[in-house]
Amino acid sequence: MLARLKVRQCADFLTNWPAICKNPALCAMYFIYVIKNEYNGKLYIGYTSDLNRRFKEHIQNFKKDKIIYYEAYLRESDARAREKKLKYYGSAWRALRKRINA
């Protein structure tokens, strides 16, 4: 795992990602993310290889969505395993929610 950032750091990372990685082919990253719908407070967990594109897809349908947390991985299998833990194992999700709300 490369990064576990707090909410305020997410926007900075997403904005600066093209400058951080000049050659995207060499910087293949896989992300798990948590999006919060500001309207109803629901949280959504997902996985993607392009966080900017995926977030834009979310806000096309749900204007009040906001990325509140993400983790970056070098290997796709690691990202998928983490997403699965968060979705299907309550203890991992409870620990992450506690961390997000801290």
pLDDT digits (tens, 9 = 90+) for 18-68: 555 655 555 678 999 998 888 888 888 999 998 888 888 888 877 788 888
Domains of the chain: 3-101 (3.40.1440)
Q: Is the pLDDT of residue 86 over 80?
A: yes
Q: Is the pLDDT of residue 4 over 60?
A: no
Q: Take residue 78 and report the two structure tokens written for it.
A: 């690691």
CB atoms within 10 A of CB 93: 16
Q: Worst-scoring range by mean pLDDT, 62-66, 79-83, 84-88?
A: 62-66
C-alpha span between 97 and 100 (Å, rounded): 5
